[in-house]
Structure 1
Amino acid sequence: MTLHTQTPLVESRPMSLSSGRSIWLKLDALQPPGSFKIRGIGLACETHRERGARRFVSSSGGNAGLAVAYAGRVLAIPVTVVVPETTSERAKELLLRENAEIIVHGVSWQEANDFALSLLGASDAFLHPFDDPLLWQGHATIVDEVFRSGLKPDAIVLSVGGGGLLSGVAEGLRRNGWGDLPILAVETEGAASFHAAIEAGHPVELAGITSIATSLGAKRVCERAVYWSQEHPILSVVVSDQSALSACEAFLADHRVLVEPACGASLSLAYEKAPELDPFGTILIVACGGATATIDQIRQWSARYA
């Protein structure tokens, strides 16, 4: 029994027609807390519970924190989430639904994170949003499920924030003997910390995040993501906020599933027939999800580009 569910793997007729190739979707937006995060965070929470943890502490007001809160409720372990002042009321509401204690501290995630770390006692476990081998091990189950289905795509498309999903999928490809299968790692302009790390050859810190895709808003990717960029065929792709937002609306119309712009970034490659897809006939897109954005908010953002 795991805290995540095996999500549907479906061929998208609308996206296949848009892109001129076979597009398959791994619908992790349908995970109970709304995103892929529960795969790795669920494994980490179960592991920490087995090691004696009596409380889980997180510093994410987004999908990672929501996954921790969900895991804590299911495992009957209290959860404290420290969030910055910029956290939306929607995100706080979702955390409260999972019975998490919310502490608002600081103007940035870094300040909230530092405060969360200061709260840790001997029986507490800290859950990092993306930089933890347990997370990568859990996220790798995405590939395990695709492998068992019998489908082998020509490439996998996924979004990159801090690099946790990328590191997990790369690990999953290796452990299933698919080490030659390319990954297209997609970010939005203004949140492209992985692209910056690729160009520099090592993680670099962005001056700030200017993209509306805040779920991709890690100013610095984890070392493991850069390691995989040197060990696995990975192509970094950067798209506009407008492309990500348009893809969210199209995906909602086509598949009745609402995702955040962070996920829309990956979906946009198919909807806009991106040239990076040209070498591949069958493509798997990880529809990673995201629970904190509403359709009204997405349309407000889109209005900026109208």
Structure 2
Amino acid sequence: MLELEKIKAAHETIKDFVYKTPFSLSTRLSKAMDAKIYLKEENLQITGAYKVRGAFNKIANLSPEQKKKGVVAASAGNHAQGVAISATHFGVRSTIIMPEAAPLLKVAGTKALGAEVILKGNNFDEAYAFALEYAKEHDMCFVHPFEDELVQAGQGTIALEVLAKVENPDYIVVPIGGGGLISGVASCVKQLSPNTKIIGVQSSGAPAMSKSFAAKKQINSSSVRTIADGIAVRDASKITLKTILEVVDEIVEVSDDEIANAILYLLESQKIVVEGAGAVGVAALFERKFCFEPGSSIVIVLSGGNIDVQMLNVIIEKGLIKSSRKMIINVTLIDKPGALQGLTSVLTGTGANIVKIDYDRFSTKLSYGDAMIKITLETKGKEHQENVSSALRAAGYEFYEEF
């Protein structure tokens, strides 16, 4: 495992630049889960994610000659911004290789922090391969997002801040992409609080480290697909896997639906905005992916908050539908004056609020003289939606519901 002294040294290096992010007991989550649930809000970090800790520590420790040559990094977004702001702080030129599908928010944020951005590859691993070639060709220092002890030590400073607040938590739940965060955090925790269990969480759409942990050998994925772009790593790192096998107790997986539910819960109930990677710990908690006793103290690392606004909108809309607070119905009407008014009168009588109407009379699926009306309604739960359906049937309307 990573030496504790290296993590403490990293803390001294970064403490005047990196935020000591909020750490608090969530009363709502604690009540819901019958445990003491603490949130470490790295989504409120200086760049919106924990990655700046490791990036700053690495660049701070470069030699004057290395700083003069400049740095290169590969990242889906959060490491990119960490490297960019840290390099700019030290007056170092930075070039970041990002996947072509990287969220616009993260691309723009990286450029705004002073880096040159090159979009290359379909995922992190393809961007990473190009970045290595680029660094070699231009004789620049490559700042690895997780296979670097200085980077891992920087990430491990999160654990120092957590243990200063809760001396011996029962569990610490940490997202896993490449494994740098959990390597640093778990190494620190196992040396200061050895009885604390470390739970790693991966997206089921990018499960390389989870599969490797179970098999105790490197197992790579053929592809990745997940809304948690910050942990969308295709290949398991042999370097971090070695550490993880030593210091991590369990790794679990969560689906995109479970991640989306956690994002929406944190936004609505906790007033906290997190990205997919930042929500996986809460998703694992909600879905009881790991076992814990009532009253256990559980720390969840919210690793980042740089979620694309369009993705957040999709998650909110789908979440409202799944929770029966939004209803989309398609109704076939005879296309004549007053037909739509009759339909809306029935809906008004149920107390449902109409927020959108689409009117289609040209579909080849319709009989001549008919029209298809798609209506989006705000509703008050499952029972209310059943009342809406009953009222439409009683009024003689043919319809189907979209989910």
- TM-score calculated relative to the size of structure 1: 0.90
Using the TM superposition, name which of 78-87 and 163-172 deviates more.
78-87
Please, which of 115, 138, 158 is the counterpart of residue 174 of structure 2? Answer: 158
Partner of 2:30: 16
Distance 2:110 2:143 in 1: 15
Partner of 1:80: 95
Inter-CA distance 135–275: structure 2 relative to 1 (3 Å threshold): closer
The answer on whether the counterparts of 1:18 and 1:272 sit within 8 Å (CA) in structure 2 is no
Partner of 1:174: 190
1:44 aligns with 2:44: no
Distance 1:69 1:110 in 2: 20
Inter-CA distance 77–190: structure 2 relative to 1 (3 Å threshold): same
SS at match of 2:268: helix
1:131 aligns with 2:147: yes
SS at match of 1:53: helix
Partner of 1:143: 159
SS at match of 1:96: helix
Inter-CA distance 270–150: structure 2 relative to 1 (3 Å threshold): closer
Kindly provide the CA deviation profile for residues 119-163 of structure 1, in whole angstroms up to 9, marking residues without a partner as x.
Answer: 326862211121111111111111111222353211111111111
Instruction: Look up the equivalent residue of 2:179 and give its one-letter code.
Output: G
Instruction: Look up the equivalent residue of 1:139 and give its one-letter code.
Output: Q
Q: Which has the higher contact order (CA 8 A, sep 6+)?
A: 1
Deviation at 1:274, TM superposition (A): 4.7
The answer on whether the counterparts of 1:82 and 1:105 sit within 8 Å (CA) in structure 2 is yes
Percent sequence identity over aligned pairs = 26
Partner of 1:193: 208
Distance 2:253 2:82 in 1: 27
1:243 aligns with 2:258: yes
Deviation at 1:285, TM superposition (A): 0.7
- TM-score calculated relative to the size of structure 2: 0.70
Instruction: Look up the equivalent residue of 1:207 and give its one-letter code.
Output: S
Please, which of 97, 106, 116 is the counterpart of residue 121 of structure 2? Answer: 106
Partner of 2:84: 69
Distance 1:50 1:14 in 2: 49
Give the aligned CA root-mean-square deviation in angstroms.
2.2
The answer on whether the counterparts of 2:200 and 2:248 sit within 8 Å (CA) in structure 1 is no
Distance 2:216 2:285 in 1: 28
Please, which of 210, 229, 246 is the counterpart of residue 231 of structure 1? Answer: 246
1:265 aligns with 2:280: yes
Structure 2: give runs of 5+ residues left out of the alignment: 1-12, 323-403
Partner of 2:230: 215
Partner of 2:132: 117
Please, which of 23, 37, 56 is the counterpart of residue 71 of structure 2? Answer: 56
Kindly provide the CA deviation profile for residues 182-213 of structure 1, in whole angstroms up to 9, marking residues without a partner as x.
Answer: 11111121111111102221121101102221
Pairs aligned (count) = 304
Instruction: Look up the equivalent residue of 2:271 and give its one-letter code.
Output: R
Partner of 2:44: 30
Instruction: Look up the equivalent residue of 1:230 and give its one-letter code.
Output: L
